[in-house]
Amino acid sequence: MWPDAVQLQDKVGRNGMTQEFERQIERYDALLAATVDMVLVIVDDRVEYCRAGESDWLNEEMVTGVALEKLFPVDLLGRFRSAIERAQAAPGVAQSLEYVLRPEHLPSMREAGLREPIWYEARFVATDSGDVIWSARDINDRKKLQRKVTNQAQRDPLTGAYNRRALMTVMEQTVAQAQRYDWTCSVLLIDIDDFSSINDQHGWDAGDQLLQQIVTGLYKLKRTADFLARYSDDQLVLFLPETNHDQGLAAGERVRNLIAEMVMPYPTGELGCTASVGVAGLRGLEDTAREMLKRAEENLLVARSSGGNRVEGE
């Protein structure tokens, strides 16, 4: 903590006080220059001082002297004021806060240079007089890495489709929402007919490439709201929100036709396959995502036992 005026006077005497104070200010300025953080000094809900640090997008002059309510929307301003009040209630104790600045929501910050969303990790520390030092560190790279890791944990590494765990999370949430608002949804369980024979005759790499091509085709076919996941080695699930059972059957036929018409060049010759599809729709308030998948599996079994390349529903 920097010494106050009384401490300085006791230490150096009245004549040397000005020189010592100037040295302290020089050290303070050097400390600010050394930090990578954006630093704001808030006095009476206004930016008294601003140093951009490594946030080189920021025009410091355009925010210095400006009231916080002129810079930030109500929701973000409320979070900042809450952190400032907590800091002022406990001077010297840092209060932490994470937030994102989005140019589309912050016209004043956009004018000051903000061009893309940036995440910050901030600390607010108050002096005894109530002034607040606001230090904010750019954590965009960390957030991007977190999103990448999360996305990888939810994706099948071979096809890029979502995995079974991600599917169950989405289905359970969507089914609960559909039941609450009297909506509907359907699920397609897609099984590649005789997939093991393709691997046996042409090798596992052929089967992998064929599965990747099917997933690519399904991504082009599906709607934005539909959810595609790899369910097992040779099975995929296409979950269809706001889709009744008849519409689900029609979607199943489109999927079946897409796969039946698909041809993939390969060194051992052109490869193709067919698929069987089991369809299940939401049955009301007592239904669950797992029960829907169970019925889709039962209908898939009927399609396969009937010769494959078929769509079966309830």
- pLDDT tens digits along 298-310: 999 999 999 999 9
Distance of CA 151 to the CA centre of its chain: 8
Please, are residues 219 and 159 in contact by the beta-carbon 8 Å criterion?
no
Confidence of residue 61 (pLDDT cuts 50, 70, 90): very high
pLDDT of the residue at 47: 96
Residue 199 has pLDDT above 90, yes or no: no
Is 90 exceeded by the pLDDT of residue 172?
A: yes
- Per the model's pLDDT, the better-predicted residue between 275 and 144 turns out to be 275
Q: For residue 87, what pLDDT is reported? A: 96
Q: Looking at the domain 35-143, which fold is it?
A: Beta-Lactamase (3.30.450)
Query: Mean pLDDT, to the nearest integer, of 136-151?
Result: 80
Q: Comparing 35-143 with 155-312, is the CATH topology the same?
A: no
Question: What is the average pLDDT value for the chain, to the nearest integer?
Answer: 89
Per-residue pLDDT, averaged over 161-167, amounts to: 92
271: left (phi over 0), alpha (psi -120 to 50) or beta: beta
- CATH class of the 155-312 domain in this structure: alpha beta
Predicted TM-score (pTM) of this structure: 0.58
Which pLDDT belongs to residue 267?
Answer: 83
pLDDT category at 18 given cuts 50, 70, 90 is confident
Confidence of residue 103 (pLDDT cuts 50, 70, 90): very high
What's the rounded mean pLDDT across residues 163-171?
A: 92
Q: Tell me: pLDDT of 210 over 80.
A: yes
Provide the residue ranges of all domains of the chain, joining segments of one domain with +: 35-143, 155-312
Question: What is the β-pairing status of strands 227-232 and 185-192?
Answer: unpaired
- Asked if pLDDT for residue 17 goes beyond 90, the answer is no
Q: Is the pLDDT of residue 9 over 80?
A: no
pLDDT tens-digit series, residues 86-96: 999 999 999 99
What pLDDT sits at residue 117? 92
For residue 271, the tally of other CB atoms under 10 A from its CB is: 18
Q: Give mean pLDDT, residues 73-102.
A: 94
Region 9-13: mean pLDDT is: 50
Nearest to 241 by CA among 275, 301, 289: 289
Q: Is the pLDDT reported for residue 207 higher than 80?
A: yes
User: Does residue 131 have a pLDDT over 80?
Assistant: yes
